[in-house]
Structure 1
Amino acid sequence: MSHVRRELLLFAVGGVLGLLVDAGIAQSLVSFAGWNIYTARIVSFLSAATATWWWNRRHTFAHRQSGRSARAEWLHWMGLMAAGAVVNNGVYLIVLEAFPALRPWPAVAVAAGSAVGATANFLFARTLLFRSRKTAA
């Protein structure tokens, strides 16, 4: 299996992990702690993005490096994932505006946004953060 295919597969696994963390924390904070949906979403996003950073650092891009300290790398990751979220939500809105017949079916626009956002996140992570191969010390 090529390096890029392996990275894509592991990135997808990390995405599922992030989704589970995100949804689990948001749902728990709203259902069990009485938080409002917006505050819960901030905490769940930060937690999920941290989990995916850890996963991708340890597994997906284990053979690559950022050249940054762990803290700086995490901050850069968070910024990249926020940019990916903007892409995701932008595609969602564009699809719903371009195809008004899909408004009763927003899941289609969510899927389109997720696909484009995930692709952007992978490319951002691979080319802007983990861009160098690790060298033997």
Structure 2
Amino acid sequence: MMTQTVETRLRNAGYRVTKQRTAVYQYLLSTDAHPTAETIHLSVRHRLPNISLATIYKAVDSLVDVGLVNRIQRGASSARYDAAVKDHAHCRCIGCDGVWDAPHDAMPQGTPKAFEVVHVNVEFVGYCADCRRQKLRLAPLNATIKYSSLP
């Protein structure tokens, strides 16, 4: 069940506390996978079979609006969601598109004193361990060409 603070934040922002919002928020709290709206939809449908993808988008938008969830924007039309709202960095794998949390200092040296940071979005892009292994198998670093087989 959602805490009084969560319910209060939703109501104070003009949102109703619905079973759909509750289910979406509980799912996001239960995972560290940084899911897309489509992934959230697939999971929440097990509890609420009639929930639509449009309702998922509305629910996550409201949760982002009240500061309970972070949106990790990936281009113009792709986003992932994270219930860990404390500022942190993300590591994103180019191979599998996985996203993982990484600790990060929110105020880098050289930030102007009068500057107010409202959100930090740092992303490290590379390959996870599984994709690195797969990539190396597909293109081994020690591959040799047999010149005797060339015409």
Could you say which TM-score interval applies, normalised by the shorter chain?
Answer: under 0.3
Give 1 or 2 for the bigger CA radius of gyration: 2
Q: Which structure has the highest helix share of the two?
A: 1
* TM-score w.r.t. length of structure 1: 0.27
For CA contacts below 8 A with separation 6 or more, give which structure has more relative contact order.
1
TM-score, normalising length: structure 2: 0.25
Normalized per residue, the structure richer in strand is 2
